[in-house]
Amino acid sequence: MEKHTTSENEYRVYTERWFILLATTVLIFTNIMQWVSFSAQIDQTNMFFCGPDGFHDCSAAFLSNQIYQIVAVIVSIIGMYFATVFGTLPTLRLAGVFNIFGALIRLVSSLPSLQNFFWRQFLLILGTSVAAAAQMYFVVFSKIAESWFFPRHRASANVACSNSLELGVVLGTLLPSDAIIAAACLVPLFLLFVLCRRSVPKTPPSASSQHEVNGPVTRGILKCLKDRQFLVQIVVYSINFAIANGIIYTSNAINYRGYNLRGYPIAIATLVCMFSAYFVGIIADKTRKFKTIALINALVCAVCVVALRLYLIKVYSGWYDSVIVCTLLSIIMSCCAIHTPIGNEMGVETTYPVQESISTGVLNTFGQAWLFCLYFVMYALQDSNWVYKNNGKGGSWELALDFWAFMSILNFVVALFFLRPRYNRLQMEEEAKRTEEAIRESVSTICKY
């Protein structure tokens, strides 16, 4: 147990916070590994689950990817209710159960002894659907930070959860083994059912946590959706979420310009963004300047997306092209990864005293929905003949990247002119601190007499 030594010394944090944070991060990256493992190997996945005869018409990898995105929208809504009514720990435990059962079903579907292609695909879809239901963990990021950590550590705790998404992408690409994933899924189960005992600590870590109000979930959602500033934050959050998915498309589009980097751009960009997000998280904890960070983030992202689009006008001519492309993708990925925890914190601050699970749940629901839409928009533009001539392989990839660049510019414009987050929670904590100091001064004055 750790105490504040300042005017907040009545607030405490407990060792158990590290168990619940570790359980959450492991749960997240093992779940994301299941999403990425087959999506990153499209040809191999389609060949295994459909066979050589059905390979060309196979959609196993596509369905595996889309099921995760569709289910994420649904479970975000369900997760808001579950986390608000039952608490963080039951939500994470339920997610852990979905995660392990989904992994086991997918493991059975990938056994070589199962020769029937219909049952392979059926079990793959079933297992993916069950595993995707574990994504209700998205709504508890800020709840864990608020309930278990001091205010000066909230953004860092949020970044740790967000970074586990990126870690799952890397590990899912490098270790696409259902057996390894299923074994790893046992770790969060052990932590959640054995070492984690409660959803909130015995005593609160901050004034805002101490005075938290539990109201009806529907009322909290409506209050969020009636808040104009929160709606602006939804737009910025959703676009950032979708821009990150555009990186996956771009990593394939660069092959049409003569590059042959396979999955390395995504792996490199993900590793870089994990470190940069953690560094920015520390800055956010110390300064609490979420709006400034979000604006700089949006500007850098827009500049790099546009620069990458212009750079891809030229075809590959040497190793330095790969360095430049990977650098730009890494910066873009870092900006998108940074905004997820920062956006969650801004949303919680603006809508306080609405519960964190509700505000982050609304943000994630819209983010996942736009992510799902952008995937189809970019591929629809690739298949079009509107501006650029469709030359078969790759199609009008230029138009798809133009749209990606437009969205990044739109994101910056919206953030620059309309993003005005309120710091309700921070103001409440500062007022509570001033009140405590005034009371102590009064007591000290009385004791002198």
75, part of any domain:
yes
Q: What is the pLDDT of residue 445?
A: 66
Q: Which of 164, 199, 234 is the last residue of a domain?
A: 199
Task: Determine the pLDDT at residue 184.
Answer: 93
Q: Cα(117)–Cα(106) distance, rounded to whole angstroms?
A: 14
- Residue 342: inside a domain: yes
Q: What is the DSSP letter of 331?
A: H
The answer to whether residues 224 and 195 belong to one domain is: no
pLDDT for position 162: 84
* Residue 250 and residue 165 share a domain: no
Please name the residue that has the structure tokens 């969020």.
224
Q: What is the mean pLDDT of the chain?
A: 84
Domain count, the chain: 2
Helix (H, G, I), strand (E, B) or coil at 31: helix
Distance CA 249, CA 247 (A): 5
- Estimate to the nearest angstrom the gap between the alpha carbon of 172 and the chain centroid: 16
Q: Based on the fold, state whether residues 62 and 189 are members of the same structural domain.
A: yes
- State how far the Cα of 60 lies from the Cα of 49, in Å rounded to an integer: 7
pLDDT digits (tens, 9 = 90+) for 29-83: 999 988 888 766 666 777 888 887 776 777 777 777 778 878 888 888 888 888 8
Q: Is residue 177 located within the same domain as residue 312?
A: no
Mean pLDDT over 300-317 rounds to 91
Percent of the chain whose predicted confidence (pLDDT) is above 90: 29
Is residue 181 domain-shared with residue 223, that is, in the same domain?
no
Please indicate, yes or no, whether residues 341 and 388 belong to a single structural domain of this protein: yes
How much is the CA Rg of the chain, to the nearest whole Å? 23
Residues 386 and 251 both lie in one domain: yes
Which CATH number does the domain housing residue 290 bear? 1.20.1250.20
In a domain, 352, yes or no: yes
Do 193 and 239 share a domain, yes or no? no
Q: Does 386 lie in the same domain as 248?
A: yes
- Statement to judge: residues 97 and 229 lie in one domain: no
Q: What is the residue type of 162?
A: S
In a domain? residue 8: no
How far is Cα 125 from Cα 369, in angstroms, rounded to an integer?
20
**Predicted local confidence at residue 295, as pLDDT:** 94
What pLDDT digit, counting tens, does each position of 90-127 carry? Answer: 999 999 999 999 999 999 998 888 888 888 889 989 99
pLDDT score recorded for residue 7: 44
Average pLDDT over residues 222-249: 88
Q: What is the pLDDT of residues 309-334, one digit of tens each?
A: 999 888 888 888 889 998 999 999 88
* Local confidence band at 209 (pLDDT 50, 70, 90 cut-offs): confident
Does the residue 434 lie in any domain? no
Q: Which domain holds residue 20?
A: 14-199
User: Which residues share a beta bridge with 3?
Assistant: 12
Q: Are 233 and 344 in a shared domain?
A: yes
Asked whether the predicted pLDDT for residue 3 surpasses 70, the reply is no
For residue 403, give both structure tokens: 């749209």
In a domain, 179, yes or no: yes
Strongest mean pLDDT among 249-253, 274-278, 392-396: 274-278
Does 110 fall in a domain? yes
Please state, in angstroms and as integers, the Cα–Cα distance from residue 241 to each residue in 217, 218, 270, 337, 368, following that order. Answer: 24, 25, 14, 8, 7
pLDDT at 192 over 90: yes
What whole-number distance in Å separates Cα of residue 27 and Cα of residue 444? 49
pLDDT of 6: 45
**Do 135 and 238 lie in a common domain?**
no
The answer to whether residue 119 sits within a structural domain is yes
pTM: 0.83
Which helix (H) or strand (E) element contains residue 12? strand 12-13
Taking the C-alpha atoms of residue 247 and residue 272, their distance in angstroms, rounded to an integer, is 14
Statement: residue 446 has pLDDT above 80: no
